[in-house]
């Protein structure tokens, strides 16, 4: 199983990771605000992640870390 970590304090909520995920496991959490004032992304079900790292590749701020 993959371990997916988001540094939510650095996330600007651009949504590129959301569109890159082939399993549709990433969402922008509208009811949370990080230190920069943005709604961050997070994974909904880590157990279904296939560790393709498309989300981490698309992230312009290197917020996402994938560990296999």
Report domain extents, the chain: 3-67
Q: Check residue 68 and give its pLDDT.
A: 84
Q: Check residue 63 and give its pLDDT.
A: 97
Which residues lie closer than 8 Å to 33 by C-beta, 6 or more apart? 39
Q: How far apart are the first and last CA of the chain?
A: 7
Q: Check residue 51 and give its pLDDT.
A: 95
For residue range 1-56, what is the model confidence (pLDDT) as tens digits?
Answer: 789 999 999 999 999 999 999 999 999 999 999 999 999 999 999 999 999 999 99
Closest CA to 49 of 31, 32, 66, 27: 66
Query: What's this model's pTM, rounded to 2 decimal places?
Result: 0.91
**CATH value of 3-67 in 3.30.70.20, 3.40.980.10, 3.40.390.30, 3.50.50.60:** 3.30.70.20
């Amino acid at each position: 199983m993959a371990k997916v970590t988001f540094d939510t304090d650095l996330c600007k909520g651009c949504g590129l990771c959301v569109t890159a995920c082939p399993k549709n496991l990433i969402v922008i959490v509208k009811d949370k605000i990080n230190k920069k004032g943005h709604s961050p992304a997070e994974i909904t079900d880590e157990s279904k992640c296939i560790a393709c790292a498309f989300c981490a590749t698309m992230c312009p701020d290197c917020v996402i870390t994938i560990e296999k």
